[in-house]
Amino acid sequence: MENQIVIYRNISGETTRAQVDLWKARVTRTGIQLEEKGKGKTLIFHLYLRDDEVIFYMYENGKTLHVLIEYLRVKKGDGRMVKAVDALISEFKLRGEKYETNRGDLYRTLYLNGLIMDEGPFHERKLPADFDLRLTREIIMGHLYMTLEQYAEAKKRGDADLEAETFGRLQSFSEELSKIDEVLKSNPSAET
């Protein structure tokens, strides 16, 4: 599913420089370009695959490195970027959450010490919490931006069929966003 969006939240834990070097070697063998920069006690990692980019940080803490990714949005594409982040979580024995859409449903995976503790459809409560709505909104925004790119490309190439199809998807995403925004505005506890 090239147009799928995957969201990682609250990824954290400790690792070592040796584990980071092994992970980096595995990631570069998949064809992902990886660039590491240091700034003080902070390491900045840039992962590139075609026009997709993922950036996250690690912090030196004595002899260990602390991984802290509060929020990361990844285009699934051919799956290599998602596998790289999944490997980061499992190999470094991290904890956190992963959310993705599949055929209109929201799926959640919970990690603890790098192991999958729970995964499956994520059913929203009758009155979704602020996070649930905002996460759904963010996923739809990701789809909207990708569809806008497809629409612009179809228009540029003069592909009327693809232009009409993407325009229809844009309208659908816009309607969904409007509904979510209405709920967020009408629910005082959901506003930030």
Q: Please write the tens of the pLDDT for every residue from 23-36.
A: 999 999 999 999 99
pLDDT digits (tens, 9 = 90+) for 54-70: 889 999 888 899 998 88
pLDDT digits (tens, 9 = 90+) for 37-50: 988 889 999 999 88
Q: Maximum Cα–Cα distance for the chain, whole Å?
A: 59
pLDDT-derived band at 190 (thresholds 50, 70, 90) equals very low
User: How much is the pLDDT for 103?
Assistant: 66
DSSP state at residue 122 = -
Q: Please, which residues have CB within 8 angstroms of residue 162's CB and are 6 or more apart in sequence?
A: 150, 154
Contact 34, 46 (CB under 8 A): yes
pLDDT digits (tens, 9 = 90+) for 102-156: 666 778 888 998 888 887 777 654 444 567 777 778 888 888 888 888 888 899 9
When pLDDT is averaged across residues 88-106 and rounded to a whole number, the result is 86
User: How much is the pLDDT for 124?
Assistant: 52
pTM of the model: 0.64
pLDDT-derived band at 192 (thresholds 50, 70, 90) equals very low
pLDDT-derived band at 78 (thresholds 50, 70, 90) equals confident
| Strand ordering across the sheet containing 115-121 | 33-39, 42-49, 52-61, 64-75, 5-15, 95-102, 105-112, 115-121
